[in-house]
Amino acid sequence: MGIKKKNEPDYDRLLADLDLSLQPVWESARVLEQAKGATPTPLDLNVDQENLAPVLTELARLVQENNPDAERRLKSLKTILGDSVLNAEIKVLEQAINNYDFDLARAHLQKMADALEVYLDWS
């Protein structure tokens, strides 16, 4: 309404509201930009391979089902991987799951699985 009436004080308020609303978008873009190209393939990580594949497979199933319980399984994956070169990917994956963006989560989970040489069956 303030724009139609060309009320300048409303412009500042509206711009402030817009800026506040766009903060999550800017943060997601920043995280995605940091993650770009951060995952070399294949990785030689010192991880518990015996537990890695089942956790990734279960996480993939939950993501495929758009199931918010994926957040809990992601914690298990983070424990297995520890501090690794996949931290940026994990951060993007975690943010996608927290935002219920399961398409983005699936893409990053597949990227991680490829880097870890773990096959995920999305069928």
pTM listed for this prediction: 0.63
Rounded Cα distance, 120 and 76, in Å: 17
Q: What is the pLDDT of residue 56?
A: 94
Rounded Cα distance, 99 and 87, in Å: 18
Q: What is the pLDDT of residue 41?
A: 42
pLDDT band at 27 (very low <50, low <70, confident <90, very high): confident
The tokens of 72 are what? 């809990």
* Residue 93 reports pLDDT greater than 50: yes
Kindly write down the DSSP assignment for every residue of the chain, as one continuous string. Answer: -TTTTT-HHHHHHHHHHHHHHHHHHHHHHHHHHHHTT---SS------HHHHHHHHHHHHHHHHTT-TTHHHHHHHHHHHH-S-TTHHHHHHHHHHHHTT-HHHHHHHHHHHHHHHT------
The tokens of 99 are what? 């935002």
* Residue 43 reports pLDDT greater than 80: no
Q: What is the pLDDT of residue 40?
A: 44
* Residue 96 reports pLDDT greater than 50: yes
Mean pLDDT of all residues in 36-60: 73
Q: What is the pLDDT of residue 7?
A: 64
Rounded Cα distance, 13 and 2, in Å: 10
Annotated domain spans of the chain: 37-116
Position with higher pLDDT, 104 vs 86: 104
Among the listed ranges 20-24, 79-83, 93-97, which one has the minimum average pLDDT value?
20-24
